[in-house]
Amino acid sequence: MEETDDKKLSAESEILDNALVMIAILGEKGRVVSWNHAAETITGYSQKDVIGSDTIWKKLYPDKDYRTIVTRKIAGILKTKNYFEKLETTIHTQSGESRTILWNTKMIRESGLERAIAVGMDVTAEREAQAFHASIIDNAYVLIAVLDPKGKIQVWNKAAEMITGYSPDEVIGRRDVWKKLYPDAEYRRGLTDKISRIIAGQNYFENLETTILTKKGEQRILSWNTRQIGDGGVYHEIALGLDITEQRKAEEALVAYMTEMTMRLKQPVDIVSNTLLESAQLLKDGMLINNEIIVVLESQARNAAQIVANIQEFQKAIAEKNRSIPEAYRKFLEG
């Protein structure tokens, strides 16, 4: 019988030791009774450093203020129940690293003594990945809004705040930001109809351009793309809005310049050409005297010189307007 108990104890000890989560069994006043291999690996403190003492907690939480917060939190939980679940704390390892641990505890009785088993899962990598993703969302240069199935906004990133002027506090958990962004009821209705038509055919839309009114009262043009995310019948909408206002302005300016250039270059060249041809005919018909020929030729030479000046002016204007033109071409355009 004793042999069986010993075997059982040995097996339990082996399981405890080889578990992939840190397991600490605490005795009276938080003294460590057992400290498994994972606990050693994660914290850097060996069984020898820890067993029989309660000083490990000061080592794991060297910052007094933070330790007080954790202690109060635990005390608060233990007031109502004798265990806690999913308590997340940040420990300081022997090598000076910070690790995020998700704690669960359970009270047991062993040989008539009350023990607490603390199971700590190292979620550092997971939390870092979450923080990384959150950081990507937050620092993305596109407006990102995530809507729950009821249309309430759950995520509103920094770009969303920067573009619209509305902070997450004003938007999260609400649905009325769209009315603020599209205050014109007729425009909003037209947009809603358009979106409904698109959504009826496919459950997303791509490159839908809309004009929003920001909190400051400025108009911005956004290009929207949406996707449904989620599973298990609960879907969220993720809406990505790219601010293309400057791009549109640049395109409009470029089109305006090109049109103006065509109008102010092609037509004038035609005029010079036609005037010279007509003058040649008038000369043949004896309708021009010498002085008039001089005036016509000189005026057309002035026109031609002005056309060249216009070309240079347009070259410069295009180069200045569109900074994305490669340097070599810009220098050429700038003359």
Partner 1 sequence: MPDYIDPHELEQKQIFLILASPGTIRQRNTDLIKEISRLGYHTVVITTNYPYSVLARMYAQGGIPADSVSFIDAVTRNSVGNVENIPGVVRFINNPANLTDMGIAITEMLKDQSGRKVCIMYDSVSTMLIYLSSVNISKFIHFVINKLRLMDISGVFLAVEKGLDPMLMTQLTTFVDNVIDTG
For every residue of 127-192, which 3-state class applies, written as one string?
HHHHHHHHHHHHHCCCEEEEECCCCCEEEECHHHHHHHCCCHHHHCCCCCHHHHHCCCHHHHHHHH
How many angstroms separate the CA atoms of 60 and 69, rounded?
14
Residue 93 DSSP code: -
How many Å apart are CA 249 and CA 19, to the nearest integer?
A: 61
Q: Which member of 134, 136, 271, 280 binds partner 1 (CB under 8 A)? A: 271
Binding residue for partner 1, selected from 107, 113, 134, 263, defined by CB under 8 A? 263
Half-sphere exposure for 196 (CA within 13 Å, toward CB): 6
Tell which one of 11, 129, 280, 295 touches partner 1 (CB under 8 A): 295
Helix (H, G, I), strand (E, B) or coil at 322: coil
Instruction: Tell whether residue 308 is a contact of partner 1 (CB under 8 A).
Output: no
Could you give the string, one character per residue 202-241, with x where binding to partner 1 holds by CB under 8 A and - elsewhere?
Answer: ----------------------------------------
Q: Which stretch binds partner 1 (CB under 8 A): 152-160, 166-174, 269-277, 325-333?
A: 269-277
Cα gap 14→236, rounded to integer Å? 45
Question: Least separation, in Å, of the C-beta of 244 and partner 1?
Answer: 22
Quote the CA–CA distance of 5 and 15 in Å, as a whole number: 15
Among 77-85, 120-128, 138-146, 255-263, the segment contacting partner 1 (CB under 8 A): 255-263
| 128, 184, 206, 260: residue in contact with partner 1 (rule CB under 8 A) | 260
- Which of 114, 246, 292, 320 binds partner 1 (CB under 8 A)? It is 292
User: Contacts with partner 1: how many residues (CB under 8 A)?
Assistant: 29
C-alpha distances (whole Å) from 330 to each of 14, 135, 169, 320, 321 are: 74, 37, 45, 8, 10
**41 CB contacts (<8 Å, ≥6 apart)?**
22
Residues 278, 280, 320, 331: which binds partner 1 (CB under 8 A)?
278
Q: Check residue 251 for interaction with partner 1 (CB under 8 A).
A: no
**CB-nearer residue toward partner 1: 107 or 309:** 309
- Is residue 87 within 8 Å of residue 101, measured between CB atoms? no
Residues contributing to the site for partner 1 (CB under 8 A): 256, 259-260, 262-264, 266-268, 270-271, 274-275, 278, 282, 287-288, 291-292, 294-296, 298-299, 302-303, 306-307, 310
